[in-house]
């Protein structure tokens, strides 16, 4: 039997950490389903939130089957099992099949699931935080027998109970969410007509150029990539690393190729980031000084995880959630072309690379192939290492988002980012202006 880690038991601890109070209609019943409840799991916490269920036992059965029996027996997830913790959060829906998050099924084909995106994502993120303050990947499991899954550009994945009929769907979908991986489908007809792509598992660098993965090498004994033509739904003009991969064929036990494995591992187990010195906290804030003093040196590293909505068409940003987290992991390897920089006094002190293309949504809609929906908006996770929400409220911190050009494989450290900016190899997409972050955090706290 699964041990209940009911929210009431952890609420006291979490309340001190959470900035964003739960606005979900009902308290969640939280359970750890992987690994066994009595054991400690990995830092990559997947939170599975119920939606449309009125029978908790049915939700437990569906979640356990899809995320433990199916997902954790996939070759990649099984071999990286120690990296993961999976928790479920159940709250009864108002009626069977009715969403508690304002999710609509009218526009599933385009992964446009929420008529009110902001409200929906806020509810989902709040529920995820209620399930685990250190959540990393949020998934909504909906009571619907149709077989459907979709990774939104708001950093959450939607899966129906009906998706349990097909092996590999969630493993594939989390490939999008964890590693920012592209779909490798080609439609057999269309040549690639988009812009340059040379990250993750697709590349437009055709001979005599070489895809980025040819320069990085492999340590898994995998054969050299053969770079067959066809990726991102296009049959020509773009290549993928290997003939087969779970990002091309999700079913039939197809494993991830070595390149996709490497991209996902970069997120699951990133090396310690290279950072500039942390700014000195203001000396007139006694509470912060006290907080620093109270922090024992042996305590696990902490940081702040921000969820920031970025609109590249307007340059506007909105901080939609924030909370202190333990063991924050920041990725600096070039696993995508969009980076964030934490800037203090005009200097980047921390940088992180967002996996893949965060502005894409990916849809699985019952058939063998997925489709991608391009967007101008995305909600992304920003990690501010060695900080606290209190510190950020009190400090003139700025967050900037850049798109990198070229395909320099070097890790994007603060120093590297500076050099790329100076070399005019970046485009600034959006900024959370100095003072705006503090104001947003205060507003969230008072909500």
Q: Contact letters (x/-) for other proteins, 64-103, by CB under 8 A? A: -x---xx--x-----------------------x------
What tokens does 186 get? Answer: 């080609």
Q: Which of 347, 368, 433, 439 binds other proteins (CB under 8 A)?
A: 368
Segment holding 121, helix H or strand E? helix 117-131
Question: By C-beta, is 1 or 299 nearer to other proteins?
Answer: 1
* The one segment of 36-44, 180-188, 195-203, 221-229 that binds other proteins by CB under 8 A: 180-188
Phi-psi category of residue 11: left, alpha or beta, with phi > 0 → left and psi -120 to 50 → alpha = alpha
Q: Is 144 helix (H, G, I), strand (E, B) or coil?
A: coil
Angle between helices 169-179 and 258-268 (to 10 degrees): 60
Q: Does 252 bind other proteins (CB under 8 A)?
A: yes
Question: By C-beta, is 205 or 370 nearer to other proteins?
Answer: 370
Q: Does 162 bind other proteins (CB under 8 A)?
A: yes
Cα gap 269→251, rounded to integer Å: 26
Beta-bridge mates of residue 323: 18, 305
User: Which of positions 52-71 make contact with other proteins (CB under 8 A)?
Assistant: 57, 61, 65, 69-70
Question: By C-beta, is 133 or 171 nearer to other proteins?
Answer: 171
Question: By C-beta, is 145 or 295 nearer to other proteins?
Answer: 145
Q: Which of 188, 208, 221, 300 binds other proteins (CB under 8 A)?
A: 188
Q: Spell 314-352 as b/e; 16+ CB within 10 A means b.
A: eeebebbbbbbbeebbbbbbbbbbbbbbbbbeeebbbbb
Q: Which of 22, 153, 351, 371 binds other proteins (CB under 8 A)?
A: 371
* The one segment of 130-138, 162-170, 172-180, 312-320 that binds other proteins by CB under 8 A: 162-170
Q: Does 228 bind other proteins (CB under 8 A)?
A: no
User: Which is it for strands 302-311 and 234-239: parallel, antiparallel or unpaired?
Assistant: unpaired
Q: Does 369 bind other proteins (CB under 8 A)?
A: yes
**211 and 225 Cβ atoms separated by less than 8 Å:** yes
Beta-bridge mates of residue 353: 339
**29 and 5 Cβ atoms separated by less than 8 Å:** no
Q: CB of residue 139 vs other proteins: minimum separation in angstroms?
A: 18
Q: Cα angle vertex 230, ends 228, 233, to 5°?
A: 160
Beta-bridge mates of residue 362: 151, 372
Task: Return the beta strands (E) in 126-242 as ranges.
Answer: 135-142, 149-151, 156-160, 198-199, 202-203, 229-231, 234-239
CA–CA distances in Å: residue 175 to residues 56, 169, 237, 367, 388: 28, 10, 23, 18, 30
Q: Contact letters (x/-) for other proteins, 117-146, by CB under 8 A? A: ----------------------------xx
Q: Cα angle vertex 101, ends 58, 35, to 5°?
A: 45
Q: Which of 54, 104, 105, 274 binds other proteins (CB under 8 A)?
A: 105
Q: CB of residue 248 vs other proteins: minimum separation in angstroms?
A: 11
Q: CB of residue 380 vs other proteins: minimum separation in angstroms?
A: 27
Question: By C-beta, is 106 or 287 nearer to other proteins?
Answer: 106
Q: Which of 251, 347, 374, 410 binds other proteins (CB under 8 A)?
A: 251
Question: By C-beta, is 71 or 437 nearer to other proteins?
Answer: 71
Q: CB of residue 129 vs other proteins: minimum separation in angstroms?
A: 30
Count of chain residues binding other proteins (CB under 8 A): 31
Query: Where along the sequence are the contacts to other proteins (CB under 8 A)?
Result: 57, 61, 65, 69-70, 73, 97, 105, 108-109, 145-148, 162, 164-167, 185, 187-188, 233, 251-252, 365-369, 371
């Amino acid at each position: 039997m699964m041990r209940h880690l009911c929210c009431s038991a952890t609420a006291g601890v979490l309340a001190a950490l959470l900035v964003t109070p739960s606005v979900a209609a009902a308290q969640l019943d939280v359970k750890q389903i992987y690994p066994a409840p009595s054991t400690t799991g990995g830092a990559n916490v997947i939170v599975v939130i119920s939606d449309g269920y009125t029978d908790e036992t049915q939700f437990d059965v569906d979640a356990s089957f899809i995320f433990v029996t199916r997902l954790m027996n996939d070759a990649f997830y099984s071999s990286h099992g120690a990296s993961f913790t999976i928790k479920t959060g159940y709250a009864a829906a108002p009626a069977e099949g009715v969403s508690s998050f304002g999710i609509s099924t009218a526009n599933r084909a385009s992964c446009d699931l929420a008529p009110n995106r902001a409200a929906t994502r806020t509810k989902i993120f709040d529920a995820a935080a209620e399930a685990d303050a250190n959540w990393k990947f949020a998934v909504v499991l909906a009571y619907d027998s149709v077989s459907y899954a979709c990774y939104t550009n708001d950093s959450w994945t939607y899966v129906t109970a009906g998706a349990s009929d097909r092996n590999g769907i969630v493993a594939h979908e989390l490939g999008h969410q964890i590693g920012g991986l592209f779909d490798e489908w080609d439609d057999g007809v269309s040549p690639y007509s988009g812009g340059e792509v040379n990250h993750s598992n697709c590349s437009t660098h055709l001979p005599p150029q070489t895809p980025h993965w040819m320069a990085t090498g492999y340590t898994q004994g995998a054969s050299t990539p053969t770079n067959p033509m066809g990726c991102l739904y296009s049959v020509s003009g773009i290549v993928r690393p290997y003939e087969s991969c779970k990002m091309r064929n999700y079913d039939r036990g197809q494993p991830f190729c070595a390149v996709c494995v490497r991209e996902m591992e970069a997120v699951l187990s990133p090396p310690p980031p290279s950072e500039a010195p942390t700014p000195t906290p203001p000396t007139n804030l006694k509470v912060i000084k006290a907080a620093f003093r109270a922090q024992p040196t042996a305590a696990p590293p902490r940081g702040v995880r921000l969820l920031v909505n970025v609109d590249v068409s307007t340059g506007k940003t909105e901080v939609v959630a924030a909370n202190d987290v333990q063991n924050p992991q920041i990725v600096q390897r070039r696993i995508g072309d969009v980076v964030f920089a934490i800037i203090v006094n005009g200097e980047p002190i921390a940088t992180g690379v967002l996996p893949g293309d965060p502005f894409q949504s990916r849809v699985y809609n019952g058939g063998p192939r997925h489709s991608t929906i391009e967007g101008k908006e995305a909600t992304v996770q920003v990690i501010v290492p060695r900080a606290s929400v209190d510190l950020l409220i009190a400090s003139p911190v700025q967050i900037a988002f850049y798109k990198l050009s070229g395909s320099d494989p070097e890790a994007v450290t603060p120093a590297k980012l500076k050099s790329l900016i100076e070399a005019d190899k970046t485009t600034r997409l959006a900024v959370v202006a100095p003072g705006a972050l503090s104001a947003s955090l205060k507003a969230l706290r008072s909500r």
